[in-house]
Structure 1
């Protein structure tokens, strides 16, 4: 009887662990899909960047230079920007110039 009880406990524990592992895998897959969607940017000419986006950069980063611009299907712009002090970075903005957190 003890063996039957112990076997049942191990079987139940294994099923619970498997279910938790599958939920974790689904969460990682969802996060990866979102990251890919956000990274699906295609390069555009600097002239195609909306005035609101360039104005935001000029206002918040005086003297900054936009080196490269890309756009995704959600009309979000990823800009590679260089500052006067030699540092550089990337900004992601919507078409109205609002920053989007990554």
Structure 2
């Protein structure tokens, strides 16, 4: 009986010695963010279409700063209801989601 228990223990012990682990794959994901370059312009130089669209969408908003990129897309820094907000519009006054 002792030999049977001893041999069972040896067999079970030898089985765990050859156990292997399954390799896990770690994928590396890179995120590339492209930042568009905006150049600051004076608020007076913002097209009237954008000013009209801003007044229609946010009547109490104050245009603090304006920036433009090469695609004539405007980045507007606006204060509305005591909050600073950044809005994007094209030169025709259509709002852009970014």
Whether TM exceeds 0.5 here: the answer is: yes
Distance 1:77 1:101 in 2: 12
Aligned ranges 1:1-102 → 2 under 5 Å: 21=28, 24-25=29-30, 28-29=31-32, 32-33=33-34, 36-37=35-36, 40-83=37-80, 85-102=81-98
Deviation of the 1:47 alpha carbon: 1.4
Which structure carries more helix by proportion?
1
Highest Rg: 1 or 2? 2
Deviation of the 1:74 alpha carbon: 0.8
Where structure 2 has 5 or more consecutive residues not aligned to the other structure, the ranges are 1-22
TM-score (norm 2): 0.68
Structural RMSD (CA): 1.9
Aligned length: 78
Which stretches of structure 1, 4 residues or longer, exceed 4 Å deviation after superposition? Answer: none
Which structure carries more strand by proportion?
2
TM-score (norm 1): 0.66
Where structure 1 has 5 or more consecutive residues not aligned to the other structure, the ranges are 1-9
